[in-house]
């Protein structure tokens, strides 16, 4: 195949759709016979994933790699920031945590050149193996106060000698000013790298923007390569949790009502994407105690800050509501940080997460957890203990902490939940209404979903048709690619990526 220049999707701001357009282009290049790979030098997200090598990257790049048809790798996202508070983040470099950093210190000059060298080296390795590289910027490219320390936007485009497409969000308003300002605030050399504009999230009659499109091209001297309509019927995993609270609440008749407790530092909320689409289930996110008490199943999800979120649940009454709901007959499932919360206590003697040494858990399982500085990250293939002859299922772990049974655990009727390929036991369940596990992605397995829904099968109205999560994802990537092909001039993008001028 012909060599294509690297391509960067830069943005006029955060959440304008860079990730989704990058995902679409990864799929389109793959469909057209190329061997693309995604790249984002620095990502800030709590929603992460584990590579086949057992290393951690941002979930968005894992999704883009899936769309590109290639296994994900840390070179696709060498630097990941996982916020722990309003001012601090855990810094993950090449898949491994290297410590916590204050935002002010992080964005000053100290140590930036070492990080710049690391992300550029990762890019170079990736570029030697794939064609083309679909790069993604972060936030806005016009944050001129951060220009000298920027690792991910135009400095990275310069290193890669990439062509840049600027993505603007028309739905939020002010798209003319944001696009024009973003281009005009660039240094002349960087401005020349911007070869096209994509307007995203358009609502209404496309013809109403025809004149605006011409005006924007005349103002900026850059062609508008496409205007992509807003869509709701294509489902691609999201990186940010900003919309979770808006998902439908309140119980529904004839369905299993599942409440995911909305934690302040919720992570890996994509654990519930497949469950949301199960026709037997009505799933919603909430921290309202009345909503929690109305649920059949309550899920305590993953969190970047178990101690902090557990403290908040105890303070706002949600912890008590979960325990009462269990006593009244609800099923409780804890995943990762939520699993840790289900135990007797969570201890943090080395203050990995903060200043609290110890906090009581919900007391639902006879467990105690000690937060540790070493992070466990691995992909896992396993079988449910209840189905020893069943097919191997898949999940992954990302956690700081060791969870063990308390001395009086023998008085509880508990069994391990799963056993992995090496014979290691994972998670605990009472085979009734309590289950805890470190396995993210366990709910992508139909066998486990069927297990937790089995107690409710007599009252479920709709039948569950077999659902293949991989096939579903592939269909969604193809739908996204078709949507973008329809509204973006892909032939012009190819011309840009092969033009030697």
Catalytic residue among 5, 72, 336, 399: 336
Question: Tens digits of per-residue pLDDT, 103-121?
Answer: 667 666 667 889 999 999 9
Position 84 scores a pLDDT of: 76
What pLDDT is recorded for position 176? 94
> Right CATH number for 255-460 from 3.40.50.880, 3.30.565.10, 3.30.930.10, 3.40.50.1100?
3.40.50.880
| Alpha carbon distance 232, 310 (integer Å) | 34
Kindly tell me if the per-residue pLDDT of 286 is higher than 90: yes
Cβ–Cβ under 8 Å, residues 395 and 442: yes
Please tell me whether residue 216 adopts helix, strand or coil conformation.
helix
Q: Are 398 and 80 in contact (CB under 8 A)?
A: no
Q: Which two tokens stand for residue 311?
A: 């403290």
pLDDT at 348: 94
26 is catalytic: no
Q: Is 85 exposed, middle or buried (CB count within 10 Å of its CB: 0-12, 13-18, 19+)?
A: middle
Q: What is the pLDDT of residue 110?
A: 64
Residue 469: pLDDT band (50, 70, 90) is: confident
250: pLDDT strictly greater than 70: no
3-state class of 435 per DSSP? Answer: strand
Question: Looking at the predicted structure, is the pLDDT value of residue 400 above 70?
Answer: yes
What is the three-class DSSP state of 366?
coil
- Give me the chain's average pLDDT, please: 91
In whole angstroms, give the CA distance from residue 498 to residue 485. 18
Q: What is the pTM (predicted TM-score) of this model? A: 0.87
In the sheet with 224-229, reading across from the earlier edge strand, the strands are 37-39, 133-136, 7-11, 163-169, 194-202, 224-229
DSSP state of 465: P
DSSP 12: B
Mean per-residue pLDDT, 89-96: 92
What is the model's pLDDT at position 279? 87
pLDDT at site 277: 87
Contact 326, 292 (CB under 8 A): no
pLDDT at 9: 98
What confidence category does residue 489 fall into, taking pLDDT thresholds of 50, 70 and 90?
very high
CA 469/CA 274 separation, integer angstroms: 7
For residue 457, what pLDDT is reported? 83
Question: Any catalytic annotation for residue 440?
Answer: yes
Nearest Cα to Cα of residue 4 among 22, 29, 27, 21: 29
pLDDT class of 465 with cuts at 50, 70, 90: low
Which pLDDT value is given to residue 100?
A: 80
Backbone angles phi, psi at 150, to 5 degrees: -65, 130
DSSP assignments along 231-294, one per residue? -SS-----S--TTGGGS--S--TTSEEEEEE--TTEE-GGGGHHHHT-TTEEEEEE--HHHHHT
Residue 229 scores a pLDDT above 70: yes
Which of 338, 342, 243 lies closest to 284, judged by CA?
243
Q: Around Cβ 54, how many Cβ atoms within 10 Å?
A: 16
Which three-class secondary structure string do you get for 23-69? HHHHHHHHHCCCECEEECCEEECCCEEECCCCCEEEHHHHHHHHHHC
Strands 194-202 and 224-229: parallel
C-alpha of 75 from chain center: 17
**pLDDT given for residue 408 in this prediction:** 81
**Residue 132: is the preceding peptide bond cis (ω within 30°)?**
yes
**Catalytic choice (26, 440, 464, 483):** 440
Span 300-307, average pLDDT: 95
| Position 297 confidence tier, pLDDT thresholds 50, 70, 90 | very high
Each residue of 8-58: pLDDT tens digit? 999 999 999 999 999 999 999 999 999 999 999 999 988 899 999 999 999
Place of tokens 């912890």: 319
What class is the 7-235+474-498 domain? alpha beta
Domain ranges of the chain: 7-235+474-498, 255-460
Rounded to the nearest 10°, the torsion over CA 211, 215, 217, 218 is: 140
Query: Between the CA of residue 295 and those of 37, 59, 323, 332, what are the distances in Å?
Result: 42, 29, 12, 10
- 459-482 mean pLDDT: 83
Residue 301 has pLDDT above 80, yes or no: yes
Residue 237 — φ and ψ, nearest 5°? -55, 135
Q: How many CB atoms lie within 10 A of CB 161?
A: 10
The closest alpha carbon to 354, from 321, 320, 400, 396, belongs to: 400
Q: Do domains 7-235+474-498 and 255-460 have the same CATH topology?
A: yes
Question: How many whole angstroms separate alpha carbon 115 and alpha carbon 322?
Answer: 43
> Is residue 373's pLDDT more than 90?
no
Contact 140, 150 (CB under 8 A): no
Q: Is the pLDDT of residue 249 over 70?
A: no
Examine the pLDDT at 382 and tell me if it is beyond 90: yes
| C-alpha span between 466 and 443 (Å, rounded) | 14
């Amino acid at each position: 195949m012909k060599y294509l220049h690297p391509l960067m999707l830069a943005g006029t701001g955060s959440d304008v759709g860079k990730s989704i357009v990058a995902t679409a282009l990864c799929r389109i290049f793959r469909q057209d016979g190329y061997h693309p790979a995604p790249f984002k030098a620095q990502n800030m997200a709590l929603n992460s994933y584990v590579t086949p090598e057992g290393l951690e990257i941002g979930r968005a790049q894992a999704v883009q790699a899936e769309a590109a048809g290639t296994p994900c790798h840390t070179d696709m996202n060498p630097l990941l920031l996982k916020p722990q508070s309003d001012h601090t983040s855990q810094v993950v470099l090449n898949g491994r945590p290297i410590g916590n950093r204050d935002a002010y210190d992080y964005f000053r000059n100290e140590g930036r050149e070492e990080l710049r060298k690391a992300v550029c080296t990762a890019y170079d390795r990736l570029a030697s193996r794939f064609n083309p590289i679909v790069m993604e910027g972060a936030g806005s490219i016009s944050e001129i106060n951060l220009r000298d320390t920027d690792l991910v936007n135009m400095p990275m485009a310069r290193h890669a000698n990439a062509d840049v497409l600027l993505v603007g969000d028309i739905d939020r308003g002010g798209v003319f000013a944001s696009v024009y300002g973003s281009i005009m605030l660039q240094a002349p050399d960087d401005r020349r790298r911007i070869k096209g504009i994509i307007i995203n999230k358009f609502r209404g009659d496309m013809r109403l923007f025809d004149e605006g499109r011409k005006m924007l091209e005349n103002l900026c001297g850059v062609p508008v390569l496409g205007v992509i309509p807003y869509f709701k019927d294509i489902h691609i995993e999201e990186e940010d949790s900003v919309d979770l609270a808006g998902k439908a609440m309140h119980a529904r008749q004839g369905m299993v009502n599942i409440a995911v407790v909305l934690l302040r530092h919720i992570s890996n909320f994509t654990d519930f994407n497949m469950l949301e689409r199960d026709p037997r289930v009505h799933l919603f996110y909430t921290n309202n105690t009345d909503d929690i008490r109305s649920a059949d199943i309550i899920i305590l999800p993953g969190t970047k800050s178990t101690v902090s979120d557990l403290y908040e649940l105890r303070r706002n009454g949600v912890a008590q509501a979960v325990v009462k709901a269990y006593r009244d007959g609800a099923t409780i499932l804890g995943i990762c940080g939520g699993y840790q919360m289900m135990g007797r206590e969570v201890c943090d003697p080395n203050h990995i997460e903060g200043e609290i040494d110890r906090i009581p858990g919900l007391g639902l399982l006879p467990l105690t957890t000690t937060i540790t500085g070493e992070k466990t990250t691995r992909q896992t293939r396993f079988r449910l203990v209840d189905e020893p002859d069943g097919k191997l299922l898949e999940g992954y772990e990302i956690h700081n902490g060791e969870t063990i049974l308390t001395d009086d655990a023998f008085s509880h009727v508990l069994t391990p939940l799963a056993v992995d390929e090496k014979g290691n036991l994972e998670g605990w369940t009472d085979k009734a209404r309590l289950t805890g596990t470190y396995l993210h992605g366990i709910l992508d397995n139909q066998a486990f979903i069927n297990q937790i829904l089995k107690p409710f099968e007599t009252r479920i109205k709709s039948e569950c048709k077999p659902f293949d999560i991989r096939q579903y994802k592939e269909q969604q990537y193809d739908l996204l690619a078709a949507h973008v092909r329809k509204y973006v001039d892909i032939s012009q993008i190819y011309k840009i990526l092969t033009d030697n001028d």
